[in-house]
Amino acid sequence: MSILNNRFQLALLKRKRSGNALQKGFTLVELMIVIVIVGILSAVALPNFLGQASKAKITEPLGKVSAGLKQAQSLWVETGTFTGVTCADIGFTADANGAYTENNWTYTCTPAANGDSIVLAATGVADSANDNLGLSACSIDGPTGVITPCTKDTNASS
């Protein structure tokens, strides 16, 4: 009887060991929980990532316009007026068409009619990575020296 009992126990042990080998892996519930967690994380992280990408794209024109405002301030000190000042006078380079376009950004410089102030702006070129991005209302008032900071525009081309 003990031999039969030992064989029975041995058979049960073998069956248990082979059963464990088949039960490796994840259950459907565990996989669904992981998918839900990844979905929630991506829903939270993706908008933040896209916002950072827009901020990074607008740093180049912000730097160029800021440098242009400083150059315009120097011109005011030298001449006392912004009348007739062009983008070329404050450091922007014109392309073959005469537009001030560089790295998918178009820059404009608009002096006031009385010559006391100048407004600089940057607009993303349509159909580029910078489309619908821009800077507007960056200005300097010559007599007071007050610089109006740029306004970031996320719908510039539309």
- Count of domains forming the chain: 1
Q: Which of 108, 114, 107 is nearest to 80 (CA)?
A: 114
Residue where the block lists tokens 């821009």? 134
Whether residue 158 has pLDDT greater than 60: no
Q: Where are the alpha helices (DSSP H) in the chain?
A: 2-22, 28-79
* Helix-then-strand count for the chain, H and E: 2, 6
- Look at residue 158 and tell me if it is in a domain: no
Considering only residues 126 and 52, tell me which one the structure prediction assigns the higher pLDDT.
52
What pLDDT, in 10s, does the model give residues 110-138?
A: 898 898 999 888 888 776 666 667 777 78
Q: Which of 67, 66, 76, 69 is nearest to 142 (CA)?
A: 76
Give the up-direction half-sphere exposure of residue 62: CA atoms within 13 A in the CB hemisphere. Answer: 12
Residue range of the domain that includes 73: 2-153
| Planar angle of CA 64, 68, 72, nearest 5 degrees | 175
Whether residue 32 has pLDDT greater than 90: yes
Instruction: Judge whether 113 and 106 are in contact, CB under 8 Å.
Output: no
Question: Token pair of 89, please?
Answer: 């006078």
Check residue 108 and give its pLDDT: 86
Q: What is the pTM (predicted TM-score) of this model?
A: 0.61
Check residue 21 and give its pLDDT: 52
- Look at residue 144 and tell me if it is in a domain: yes
- Look at residue 64 and tell me if it is in a domain: yes
**Range with the largest mean pLDDT of 8-17, 48-57, 85-94:** 85-94
